[in-house]
Structure 1
Amino acid sequence: MPIELTEDESSMLAATDRFIEREMKPVIGNYVREHQFPTPVVEAFAKAGFMGVAYDPAFDGGGLGARGAALLAARLAETEPGFAAIFLCNSAPMTVLARFGSDRIKQEWLAPLCRGETLASFGVTEPHGGSDVAQIKTRAREDGNDFVLDGSKVFSTNAGTPPHGVTTVVAVTDPDKGPKGLSTFAVPVGTPGFSIGKPGRKIGWRIAPSCELFFDGCRIPKTAMIGNRGDGLKQILTTLAIGRVLVAATALGLTRKATRLAVGYGSGRKLFGHNILQNQGLSFPLADILTKCYAAELMIQDAAQLVDQERPFKSQTSMVKLFATEMAVEAATLAIQVHGGYGVFEEYDVSGLLGEAKVLTLVEGTSEIQRLVIARDLVEF
């Protein structure tokens, strides 16, 4: 590890390692094979306080910021990337609440999330919107002291799971104001008019279900609004930019796992009279991956520090997300190649890593979106 950890970070990672050994490793493979949400493992993880590691201790968080959360995500992904996905997808709505919510709404939702009493999902992407989040169509219509929501969302990870208690939803409150007419709301599970579709089976994030959300005359009080009316787009873009640090950290953990599996298998495999890792066709690409891991870890910690210090971070988080997720795809592909024919059989852990890595290049903005964000800064370079 090329960075120096604080005492609190070291303690958190030690606790994470104990949790992984006792709670995750014995059972997580069964959930992955069945594409099932690991309810008891997630509940134990949440109740141990890990979900709140980044947030203000005043709301029962751990106070370790984006850097602490990135360290945690990477460590989880070294064992199971899908579990890290559950953590990072819960972190997105928590970040909205933490950065933009009033103290009242933080006490109502952020504190219980930090304590692990419930789980959250993020309702942003819509069926016809994709990466163009400014084109959100879900409507929040004022009616007395309430707003009435109508519309739908897709790809809401953690929605519909047993611990799921709330979703943060971005909707149009002022249609005549364009992108400045979006606002964000906390909508509790069970609110009349709010329903959740069934999850589909994915090539990655197999234990982190992603569902559609439906709002049909869903009535919520005006006090459910998070932050200021009209700030929805700013909140989305800020939250996605911060979330890219955790996606990159998950990619780093996945890359470490892929490399470990490749070296473990390759070191015991002989062909044509010698170990296959003596072949530069395999050892040199692995050396490149190790080099990229080193760079990615430094980039992640730098970007996380920018977030924690409230310095400009948008381009940097896009850079690290782009670099780390494409590195993960490269590492997963190489690890399968090292395994040869065995690499495509589900009995081998390496077989699922390519799908897990590919998902990371799509969430929180595709690789193309990251390049677009970065390219906008060329003038200032």
Structure 2
Amino acid sequence: MSAQTELTGVDLNEEQRELAAMVREFADEVVAPQAYEADRTHTLNLDVVRQMGEMGLFGLPFSEEYGGQGGDYLALGLAIEGIARVDQSLAITLEAGVSLGAMPVYRFGTEEQKQEHLPALLAGEAMAGFGLTEPEAGSDAGATRTTARLEGGEWVLNGSKQFITNSGTAITRFVTMTAVTGENEGRKEISTIIVPNGTPGFTVEPPYDKVGWNASDTHPLTLADARVPETNLLGERGLGFKNFLSILDEGRIAIAALATGAAEGCLEAAVDYANKRTVFGAALSTRQNAQFTLARMRARVHTARLAWHHAARLRDAGRPFAEEAAIAKLVSGEAAMDNARDATQIFGGNGFMNEYSVARHYRDSKILEIGEGTTEVQLLVIARSLGLVG
């Protein structure tokens, strides 16, 4: 199943098609061959990350002023989708590196912060994480317990974060933390503060033993009187959570692209296997039940792609897109999980073996219904757009 065939009907221009084809070729020739071993050893391949940086993938939606490619979110989504077909761990490394690492600095940082951090982040020479989720808090800002107080021109941070992507690699420069910096009319004032890796009192705990995304770098973090300069405040004081929600809306588009790529990867693998697998003297693909399963998988990929493309185009045009981003993430996350299940069934016993990509997709795809806003959160966003309250 060619990239040309798969991209037909989604109205891409020539430049976008060339980008998609370039990334898919890179994914097939460089990313796919290392995916099994990286997953088995729980190792993020920084050499491949470096190559992604050299291709300009980490700089796609940023202006050339800071070393970016001058592209948009649709271009970023095409790159993420192409890589996710063969390796979700590297796709989420790219997605988080852009959406959660560099984008907050680009959107809310001072000029000095942008000049200091963005060139290396956009070149893939450095990475950053975003510390939002805590043991007791994530989408519930009111439950945030990490604190930051000003003392002698420094922020003193205390608390813990969990499930933080790209927080502990050899090239991670910093993690942007959400923290309670005071109260405003009886409500917690939440701000975002840049905490460089290696700061005394900032501990990157051992990585998680996860079900999937095994080659993605994910850690819990601990802050114990970690001190950083007052100038490390990112954005206006008290707007940290509000700013992050806008980042999260964009991130949902990128995650939807990732999920679409995963769903497509499952479809491609299942079609190839069904054509080659002989059952009772005939190819599995000649059986109507298998044909119907594959047809449903194809429909899911198509629907998911249309959804995230629409959300991306709204975002890039400067129009409201929060509802469409939620729809895209909802539809594509379910498509990835459903296609992973169906592909595994097509493969039979082989689908239960980790050496096959569908097995990795089966383990990897569940988080797409959880991370960057659960399915239930997306439904809530959509319900509120309908005027429903309560």
Which range, TM-score by smaller chain?
over 0.9
1:373 to 351, 370, 381: 381
Report if aligned partners of 1:120, 1:158 keep a CA contact under 8 Å in 2: yes
- Alpha-carbon distance in 1 for matches of 2:185, 2:53: 39
- Secondary structure of 1:142's counterpart equals strand
Query: Which residue of 2 is the match for residue 52 of structure 1?
Result: 59
Query: Which residue of 1 is the match for residue 245 of structure 2?
Result: 237
Report if aligned partners of 2:31, 2:83 keep a CA contact under 8 Å in 1: no
1:263 to 241, 258, 271: 271
Report if aligned partners of 1:43, 1:163 keep a CA contact under 8 Å in 2: no
**Matched letter for residue 239 of structure 2:** D
Query: Which residue of 1 is the match for residue 337 of structure 2?
Result: 329
Query: Which residue of 1 is the match for residue 312 of structure 2?
Result: 304
Query: Which residue of 2 is the match for residue 34 of structure 1?
Result: 41
Structure 1: unaligned runs, 5 residues or longer: none
Matched, 1:275 2:275: no
**Matched letter for residue 80 of structure 1:** D
Query: Which residue of 1 is the match for residue 135 of structure 2?
Result: 127
Change in 2 beyond 3 A, CA 1:179/1:29: farther
- Alpha-carbon distance in 1 for matches of 2:40, 2:200: 34
Report if aligned partners of 2:274, 2:284 keep a CA contact under 8 Å in 1: yes
1:137 to 125, 141, 145: 145
- Secondary structure of 2:224's counterpart equals strand
Offset, 1:129 = 1.5
Matched, 1:110 2:118: yes
- Alpha-carbon distance in 2 for matches of 1:177, 1:164: 37
**Matched letter for residue 4 of structure 1:** D
- Alpha-carbon distance in 2 for matches of 1:48, 1:178: 48
2:199 to 191, 206, 221: 191
1:225-257 Cα distance to aligned partner (Å, 9 max, x none): 111011111112111111011111011111111
2:164 to 152, 156, 163: 156
Q: TM-score, with normalisation over the residues of structure 1?
A: 0.95
Report if aligned partners of 2:59, 2:123 keep a CA contact under 8 Å in 1: yes
Matched, 1:68 2:97: no
- Alpha-carbon distance in 1 for matches of 2:185, 2:367: 34
Matched, 1:77 2:84: yes
Query: Which residue of 2 is the match for residue 347 of structure 1?
Result: 355
Report if aligned partners of 2:101, 2:127 keep a CA contact under 8 Å in 1: no
Offset, 1:109 = 1.3
* Cα RMSD for the two superposed structures: 1.8
Change in 2 beyond 3 A, CA 1:22/1:283: closer
Report if aligned partners of 2:19, 2:78 keep a CA contact under 8 Å in 1: no
What is the aligned residue count?
Answer: 380
**Matched letter for residue 274 of structure 2:** G
Query: Which residue of 1 is the match for residue 220 of structure 2?
Result: 212
Offset, 1:23 = 3.4
1:6-58 Cα distance to aligned partner (Å, 9 max, x none): 34434433442453355323433321221111122112322442211111111
Deviates more, 1:269-278 or 1:135-144: 269-278
Q: TM-score, with normalisation over the residues of structure 2?
A: 0.93
**Matched letter for residue 127 of structure 2:** L
Offset, 1:378 = 1.3
- Secondary structure of 1:113's counterpart equals helix
Query: Which residue of 2 is the match for residue 250 of structure 1?
Result: 258
Offset, 1:348 = 2.0
- Alpha-carbon distance in 1 for matches of 2:57, 2:47: 14
**Matched letter for residue 71 of structure 1:** L
Change in 2 beyond 3 A, CA 1:6/1:222: farther
- Alpha-carbon distance in 1 for matches of 2:124, 2:352: 37
Offset, 1:176 = 4.6
- Alpha-carbon distance in 1 for matches of 2:196, 2:208: 23
1:25 to 32, 49, 55: 32
- Alpha-carbon distance in 1 for matches of 2:57, 2:160: 30
**Matched letter for residue 51 of structure 2:** A
Structure 2: unaligned runs, 5 residues or longer: 1-6
Change in 2 beyond 3 A, CA 1:251/1:280: same
Report if aligned partners of 1:245, 1:300 keep a CA contact under 8 Å in 2: yes
- Alpha-carbon distance in 2 for matches of 1:281, 1:17: 30
Report if aligned partners of 1:146, 1:220 keep a CA contact under 8 Å in 2: yes
1:286 to 294, 297, 314: 294
- Secondary structure of 1:149's counterpart equals strand
Offset, 1:106 = 1.1
Report if aligned partners of 1:180, 1:231 keep a CA contact under 8 Å in 2: no
Offset, 1:379 = 1.9
Change in 2 beyond 3 A, CA 1:229/1:59: same
